[in-house]
Structure 1
Amino acid sequence: MTDVQHLSNQQRFVIANDGGHAVMSYRLFTREGNAAVDFNSTYVPPEFRGKGLAEKLVRAGLAWAKEQGYELHASCWYVAKFIR
């Protein structure tokens, strides 16, 4: 239940649960000639909250973005806490 999948064609990271999905979505863009990523939404179904799934999604997403050399942005308040 805690394996993070990167669905690049859908621009999101997902953890599949029994009947639900924890999701962090992003969008790619170019800013002043630099490749950038904006993490814009994180959602964990109520029945799976408090288990660290959102944090796991964020850490996986940030690691991927850094590997790609993307400039990091977060319009999602939760992700922004990790970038500061």
Structure 2
Amino acid sequence: MTGELPEIELEDQGAKGRYVLRGPDGAEAEMTFTRVGEKKIIIDHTGVPDAFRGQGAGLRLVARAVEDARAAGKTIIPLCPFAAAQFRRHKEWADVLSQ
């Protein structure tokens, strides 16, 4: 898959959910999360198939979660190793990092 990435979709299933990018070939890049109470979410997993590699898909998914958490006054626990690495790289996200 090359070119511009599709829009990120949010699938909200109550206590759990995911952000997903769907490619025209059916490939899906996803970042799953779990809600912890009213003010925290845990990023559980980020999965980026080969069709999306090298296009910044994983970073876009985590950045969207950061934007949404910030807008909702929530904090994030990045259990997923990829998400945790992105939080270390992006110090500007410290306001939504759960302590």
TM-score > 0.5 by shorter chain: yes
CA distance in 2, matches of 1:25, 1:62: 13
The residue number in structure 2 matching 1:74 is 78
The residue number in structure 1 matching 2:27 is 20
Structure 1 counterpart SS, 2:66? helix
Q: Is the 8 A contact 1:2 1:53 kept in 2?
A: no
TM-score by length of 2: 0.73
Question: Aligned residues, how many?
Answer: 81
The residue number in structure 2 matching 1:52 is 56
Q: Which residue type is aligned with residue 26 of structure 1?
A: F
The higher relative CO (CA closer than 8 Å, separation ≥ 6) is in 1
CA distance in 2, matches of 1:77, 1:35: 22
RMSD: 1.5
| Identity across the alignment (%) | 25
Q: Tell me the alpha carbon deviations over residues 13-43 of structure 1, each in whole angstroms, 9 at most, x when there is no partner.
A: 000012110000000013xxx6210001000
CA distance in 1, matches of 2:51, 2:67: 27
TM-score by length of 1: 0.85
Higher strand fraction (1 or 2): 1
User: Structure 2: 5+ residue runs without aligned partners?
Assistant: 89-99
